[in-house]
Structure 1
Amino acid sequence: MVIVYQSKTGFTKQYAEMLGDSERVEVLPLKEAEQKLSSGTPVLFLGPLSAGRIVGLERARKAFLLRGVCGVGMSLPSPELPEKLRQGNQLGDLPVFYLQGGWAPDRVNPMTRAMVNLVTRSTRRELQARGADRTPQEEAMLDMLLHGGSFVSPDNLPSLQNWLSKQ
């Protein structure tokens, strides 16, 4: 098994490398993997989310034998997210995971920054309206949406590590 990833702002890359280090599995960016690996190579693919779609998934699906897929996004983790990713990305029976990454407005172009700000406007307003009633998680989420930030942590990896250890 090889971990293959696509990353735009670096959060997915961080997770892929953490996971590769902890499980002693080779990790390659998608472009490099397409050049180095054969088409039947089993991979775990990690990609950033954009409007519910896992970026790079179609390329990885065409190039490799997908054994599992993980989307990395800004949303708070929830039990429903992997199933939404499964349905929205037509993943069938594949194991699907979600990891909360972050937001790095300084690492994206102005158009992407404006689009993300538009899409997250209602979430920001909702969280701001809660004022002192915000949970610590919601406070951190609001700060990330307003200023950028990262939720990347090895503490988020146990389900993926457990799954990988059984492959």
Structure 2
Amino acid sequence: MLEFHLGTILFQLIVFVILMIIVGKFGAKPVVEMMRKRQSYIDNQIEKSESSRKEAESLLAEQKSELEKVRQEAQTIIERAKKQGESEADSIISAAKDRADRLVVEARAEITREKDKAIASLRDEVAELSVLLATKILEKEIDEKQYDKEMNQVLKEVGERL
């Protein structure tokens, strides 16, 4: 059966304690040191990851704000270009209307001058023909039949000249 011997149990207990001291002194310290280094490495990696994430978020926010600024500038440029185009179109239309108005005024003035010239020319011709008629009438003393005949001839000449 099982027998317990105090000497064997004490010897085994002393050997176990000595073994624990040796393992604790030579085996546990390197393992604990290795575990501390590993824990430190993991903590360092977590901190780097966290700082990288924060930096990435900050860069993302900065890029979003820059993108919004660029969009606003593009919108401003587009609006400015539209206004400038409308302004140029209005000025071109205004210049064309002014030119058309000037041309109409000049044409009317030219028509008036030509009309006045034609009237003056007709007056001169009528005066010339009146003098010619009076001269012919005075040159010949004619009777009424011949007067009508001469008058028709003069009127025919006036009609041919006009």
TM-score under structure 2 length normalisation: 0.14
Which structure ranks higher in relative contact order (CA pairs < 8 Å, sequence separation ≥ 6)?
A: 1
Q: Which has the higher strand share?
A: 1
Q: Which protein shows a greater Rg?
A: 2
